[in-house]
Amino acid sequence: MRHTELFTKTRRDAPSDEVAKNAQLLIRAGYIHKEMAGVYDLLPLGLRTFNKVVGIIREEMNNIGGTELHLSALQSPENWRKTDRWDDEKVDNWFKTSLRQGGELGLGFTHEETLTALMREHISSWRDLPTYPYQFQTKFRNEARAKSGLMRTREFVMKDLYSFSRSTQEHDVFYAACGDAYERIFQRVGLGVLTYKTFASGGSFSKYSHEFQALSAAGEDTVYVSKEKKIAINKEVLNDEVLADLGVTRDELTEEPAIEVGNIFSLGTRFSETLGLTYKNEDGESVPVVMGSYGIGPARVMATVAEVFADEKGLVWPVAIAPFRAHIVEIPGSEDVKKEAEELYSSLMEAGIDVLYDNRDARAGEKFADSDLLGIPVRIVVSEKTLAAGKFECVERATGHTTQKSVSGLIQTLS
RNA sequence: CGGGGCGUAGUAUAUCGGUAGUACACCUGCUUUGGGAGCAGGAAGGCCCGGUCCGAUUCCGGGCGCCCCGACCA
């Protein structure tokens, strides 16, 4: 993409109504726009990174047998009344509205009810199980207090997968596989070393659930971590019994703030029993389906990566989720420089490399500052200097490491 | 939802009971061109409603919005 096609502008100043680093940087760099408290738009650059995160999650979900679908955001109260989650006394973060001709509606904050009810049409035999539908879909949560930029918003896309299994044993196998897939996802987006599969409150059907907590000063959660043993426990469930279960002592753990970037949860038969999702087993008996739910918020993942990797100059993206692989920065000079930059841009595009080409007629200082702020992994400078040298200047955003490369050298490095 | 703070051009800010100033961004021209250029000219602003006052952006009341702390966060 040519920079002149990108309508967003960078800002020198951080917005006065944001304190969170993720929001300040993403807004300054033109990745997102704040619509209101807890509600953000994804601008072209932000959408690119968001989609890369989504792509990684999708691949990993498909790899463990997930099947993508898309459920509605508008929810009829019917199923929620059955599970006793419609009443405002029970669930206080509903956005509710009504139909013109009367009748209540809710904007879904999760999808257990809808999907469980819908699966009654498709699951009737043991032969239909297990199955793992998932979606990337907008959730609405009427949070009492939105905060920390993209970390806690009122409208956000969630990848939510729901597992439908024949037995707890079968469920446990998938639960573990999904946990492993989550580890790969966070590894791939660059949060691997920071992210801990964390023991958390399990609810009525299992002793624990697991949260994936990325250690960060910006985190809202508190976890107790053993970095040696790669064990983490949410503060909410820290007690002697948990310590004994996990074979750690309190002394081995340090208290750390962390961001919950994902969670996996065993639901047992709570929803299937309440909503009547059963199957006939091999003996012809009607048995409730065993369920689990598994969530990741791609925008929160994006914000977490922004938060933990940014430096004083701006964003720093891992290659896997950067909006572009490389940033051609043309330092305006003679027509030859322009021609050279255009040719390089064409060559890289033809080689299938995602590249942003800063073809603006602006000064070097401004272009370098913008390039740093955007955080694209590699900057390729085209100028009178590089033209004279016969090679392009190639700078890694994360390290500042600079090399001189030919077109073929660049294509090789960036492919 | 409790407590605190804030609301002035596109952005970030200043001042003031009487003409609202600055920087960046924007428009025009000239110069400049490897780390957010210079000069000249230009366009652009007081969240809403009410009160006090000769006069309110300023003071008072209410509303709305935003931020922070706490509570809350299947």
| Chain A 142..201 CB hits on strand B (< 7 A) | 143-148, 152
pLDDT value, residue A206: 84
How far is it, in rounded angstroms, from Cα A362 to Cα A3?
A: 11
Question: Phi, psi (5° rounding) for residue A250?
Answer: -60, -35
Answer whether the bond into residue A130 is a cis peptide, omega within 30°: yes
CB neighbour class for A34 (10 Å; exposed up to 12, middle 13-18, buried from 19): middle
Q: Is the CB of A12 under 7 A from strand B?
A: yes
CA–CA dist A249, A226 (Å, integer): 10
Distance in angstroms: CA A7, C1' B69: 38
- Residue at the smallest CA–C1' distance to nucleotide B67: A17
Report yes or no: A232 and A226 within 8 Å, Cβ to Cβ: yes
For chain A, where do the domains classified as CATH 3.30.930.10 start and end?
Answer: 3-309
Instruction: CATH 3.40.50.800 in chain A: give the residue spans.
Output: 324-414
Least confident of A30-34, A189-193, A244-248, A269-273: A244-248
Place of tokens 């051609």: A328
Structure tokens at A165: 């299994």
- Concatenate the DSSP letters of all residues of A303-367 into one string: HHHHHHH-BTTB----GGG-S-SEEEEE---SHHHHHHHHHHHHHHHHTT--EEEE--S--HHHH
Find tokens 């996802």 and name the residue.
Answer: A185
- The spacing between the Cα labelled CA in A201 and the C1' in B60, in angstroms, equals 51
Residue A130 — left, alpha, or beta (φ > 0 → left; ψ -120 to 50 → alpha)? Answer: beta
CATH 1.10.287.130 assigned to A3-309: no
Check if CATH label 3.40.50.800 holds for domain A324-414. yes
pLDDT at A204 over 90: no
Q: Which nucleotide is nearest to A370 (CA to C1')?
A: B36
What is residue A26's predicted lDDT score, i.e. its pLDDT? Answer: 97
pLDDT of residue A203: 76
Does the pLDDT at position A159 exceed 80? Answer: yes
Q: What is the mean pLDDT of chain A?
A: 96
Q: Is the CB of A2 under 7 A from strand B?
A: no
Whether the CB of A368 is less than 7 Å away from nucleic strand B comes out as yes
pLDDT at A242: 92
- Please say if the pLDDT value at position A92 is more than 80: yes
Q: Is the CB of A90 under 7 A from strand B?
A: no
**Exposed e or buried b per residue across A240-261, where buried means at least 16 C-beta atoms within 10 angstroms of its C-beta:** eebbeebebeeebbeebebbbb
Residue-level pLDDT at A20: 95
pTM: 0.97
pLDDT tens digits, one per residue of A35-73: 999 999 999 999 999 999 999 999 999 999 999 999 999
Task: Give residues 129-148 of chain A lying near strand B (Cβ < 7 A).
Answer: 143-148
Q: What is the mean pLDDT of residues A155-171?
A: 97
ipTM of the complex: 0.95
DSSP string, A29-80: TTSEEEEETTEEEEPHHHHHHHHHHHHHHHHHHHHTTEEE----SEE-HHHH
Say how far A362 CA is from B43 C1', in Å: 22
The predicted structure's pLDDT at residue A207: 87
What is the token pair recorded at A303? 């914000």
Query: Residue A8 CB closer than 7 angstroms to strand B?
Result: no
Q: What is the model's pLDDT at position A208?
A: 92
Q: Is A182's pLDDT higher than 90? A: yes
Please state whether strand B lies within 7 Å of residue A110 at its CB atom: yes
Range A132-152 average pLDDT: 96
Take residue A37 and report the two structure tokens written for it.
């408290």
Q: What is the mean pLDDT of residues A263-284?
A: 97
Mean pLDDT of A9-33: 96
Nucleotide nearest to A28 (CA to C1'): B11
For position A97, what pLDDT does the model report?
Answer: 92
